[in-house]
Structure 1
Amino acid sequence: MNKNLKIAIEAAAAAGKVIMEIYDSENFWIETKEDNSPLTLADKKANEVINEFLFPTNIPLISEENKQIDYSVRKQWEECWIVDPLDGTKEFIKRNGEFTVNIAFVSRGKPRLGVIFAPALNSLYFADVSENKAFKVSIAPDDLNIDDILNKAEEILPSGHKDCIRVVGSRSHMNNDTLEYIEELKKKFGKKIEVVSKGSSLKFCLVAEGQAQVYPRFAPTMEWDTVAGQAICEAVGLNCISRETGKSMTYNREDLLNGHFFISHEG
């Protein structure tokens, strides 16, 4: 296995352990960042753990919780890590379990490796795009043995749509762009549409493992929210298409804010 993928898996597992220790405690230590998003002690501690694993690789690192490096420097990078130490902080605060650790390796703007760990659900996903394979394994938060993780992992595959198309979205509220997209799917395929919901980057995993067929995201996200999920989806043959360009989303851009995109079998 790619040594960087092993390092990313170990980093995600270790971060997940720290996150769960805080999750099970009485105090999250919540504060608000400049963009009005919440920040907890778990975000900071998980970031520290991941930094300890990734810094020794001497590969540049973009993390939501690190100080952002100017593009004049980043544009020189051939490769980099992109990390979200705790994706779904709002889900973490709600204690619904649907939060993740996201770690991805990017080369020349393209996702090459992806790891997503949902520690409260004991679910870890990982993929190597060059191998065209993605895997899922159930692990306990304190199971940090990489050999055990790899031995128990099972390959995942997406599924086609037969009588119904399952679309990842929100049951309670969706914006007009998403509703219009769903109507386009109905007209194109003439099938029933079912909306399935999940927090954080687990939305990507639903499609990659065949529990849904389409994931439209027509609302703001950042690169660290999506790149690990995109790697997992692309490893199983799915497309992550920018609505703006009609091409696969790229990373380590000057603006780390993503445009609208969708995940599906079709471009």
Structure 2
Amino acid sequence: MNKITIKPILDIAVEAGQGILKVYHDPAQDFQITSKKDNSPLTAADQVAHEIIMKGLRSLHPDIPVLSEEGADIPHEIRKDWSLYWCVDPLDGTKEFINRNGEFTVNIALMENNEPVMGVIYSPVLNVIYYGSLGEGSFKMTPGAPAEPIFVGKEKSNWTAIGSRSHSDPDEEEVLKEFPVTDKLSIGSSLKFCLIAEGKAHVYYRKGPTMEWDTAAGQAIAVSAGATMLNALKEKFCYNKPNLLNPGFFCYSS
């Protein structure tokens, strides 16, 4: 991982985000919404961001393969031998994008031995970047401005739980009772991991389905800021599985 610096990845994420905003703010744009095989929505902005990210990563590191939500049809027989690869969600929070609430992100993660070791999340509407890498810590910045280090909250009580705006599940409420939760927030996309990383929330439990590209960058940032990420059985959260569907998980302040 020594040959990979994070600055060019930040630039790619911002370029992809600006491409998304051109679609988002185009009054003549109906987003060209279609459905993928799993019936989740796909827009013109997803495709624009995907192309920008693929071009950027291949230009920087042509030897590192890319697993992207919009290019995920790569057999496990090929993927299983990857020791280093990118895991990308060009537009995380497509429903938030369609609803025009601004809570969508660009996610880029570097995976080493099937573990997220570097993550970048850019919120185009907020114009803020969160990024982190294991051993180096996590940071928040406005593009062009100095980065500020961020850390998980260390409070032992009065925790804030954060959950999905579009995919909440009643069972999640029951599970959260094991944590000292006194307040709750809802927000879309991978911004939930970012709020854990900067100490504005303390626990994120997700029962419902997500994909590996939904969590990889967020996990890298949250864990680099001091959080713990485990599956719903409190075991290691795994990547590059034959089926890229995630199990339930916890991300919480350590």
Are the structure 2 counterparts of residues 103 and 172 from structure 1 closer, same or farther at C-alpha, using a change threshold of 3 Å? closer
Question: How many angstroms apart in 2 are the aligned matches of 1:235 and 1:248?
Answer: 16
Partner of 2:49 in structure 1? 46
Aligned residues: CA RMSD = 1.8
Q: Which amino acid aligns with 1:79?
A: L
The alpha carbon displacement at 1:198 in A equals: 0.9
Mean Cα displacement is larger for which, 72-81 or 25-34?
A: 25-34
Question: How many angstroms apart in 1 are the aligned matches of 2:226 and 2:141?
Answer: 20
Partner of 2:15 in structure 1? 14
Conserved 8 A contact 1:243-1:260: yes
Partner of 2:242 in structure 1? 254
Pairing of 1:166-181 with structure 2 (within 5 A): 166-170=160-164, 174-181=168-175
Unaligned runs of 5+ in 1: 140-147
Task: Give the match's secondary structure for 1:177.
Answer: helix
Question: How many angstroms apart in 2 are the aligned matches of 1:172 and 1:18?
Answer: 24
Choose which of 139, 142, 158 in structure 2 pairs with 1:138. Answer: 142
Q: Which amino acid aligns with 1:231?
A: A
Conserved 8 A contact 1:239-1:248: no
Are the structure 2 counterparts of residues 67 and 247 from structure 1 closer, same or farther at C-alpha, using a change threshold of 3 Å? closer
4+ aligned runs moved over 3 Å, structure 1: 1-4, 170-174
Q: Which amino acid aligns with 2:96?
A: E
Task: Give the number of the structure whose residues are more often helix, by fraction.
Answer: 1
Are the structure 2 counterparts of residues 25 and 128 from structure 1 closer, same or farther at C-alpha, using a change threshold of 3 Å? same
Conserved 8 A contact 2:167-2:208: no
Partner of 1:193 in structure 2? 182
Mean Cα displacement is larger for which, 49-58 or 221-230?
A: 49-58
Question: How many angstroms apart in 2 are the aligned matches of 1:67 and 1:251?
Answer: 14
Are the structure 2 counterparts of residues 234 and 2 from structure 1 closer, same or farther at C-alpha, using a change threshold of 3 Å? farther
Unaligned runs of 5+ in 2: none
Question: How many angstroms apart in 1 are the aligned matches of 2:167 and 2:125?
Answer: 25
Are the structure 2 counterparts of residues 162 and 247 from structure 1 closer, same or farther at C-alpha, using a change threshold of 3 Å? closer
Are the structure 2 counterparts of residues 156 and 180 from structure 1 closer, same or farther at C-alpha, using a change threshold of 3 Å? same
The alpha carbon displacement at 1:174 in A equals: 4.0
Conserved 8 A contact 2:127-2:142: yes
Q: Which amino acid aligns with 1:23?
A: Y
Pairing of 1:76-87 with structure 2 (within 5 A): 76-87=81-92
Partner of 1:228 in structure 2? 217
- Give yes or no for the alignment of 1:118 onto 2:123: yes
Give the TM-score normalised by the residue count of structure 1: 0.88
Q: Give percent identity, aligned residues only.
A: 45
Task: Give the match's secondary structure for 2:91.
Answer: strand
Partner of 1:31 in structure 2? 34
Conserved 8 A contact 1:7-1:54: no
Equivalent pairs counted in the alignment come to: 249
Conserved 8 A contact 2:95-2:166: no
CA offsets 1:167-222 (integer angstroms, 9 cap, x no match): 0125798424311112222xxx4xx5211111000000011001001111111000
Task: Give the match's secondary structure for 2:188.
Answer: coil
Partner of 1:109 in structure 2? 114
Task: Give the match's secondary structure for 1:169.
Answer: strand
Question: How many angstroms apart in 2 are the aligned matches of 1:65 and 1:173?
Answer: 21
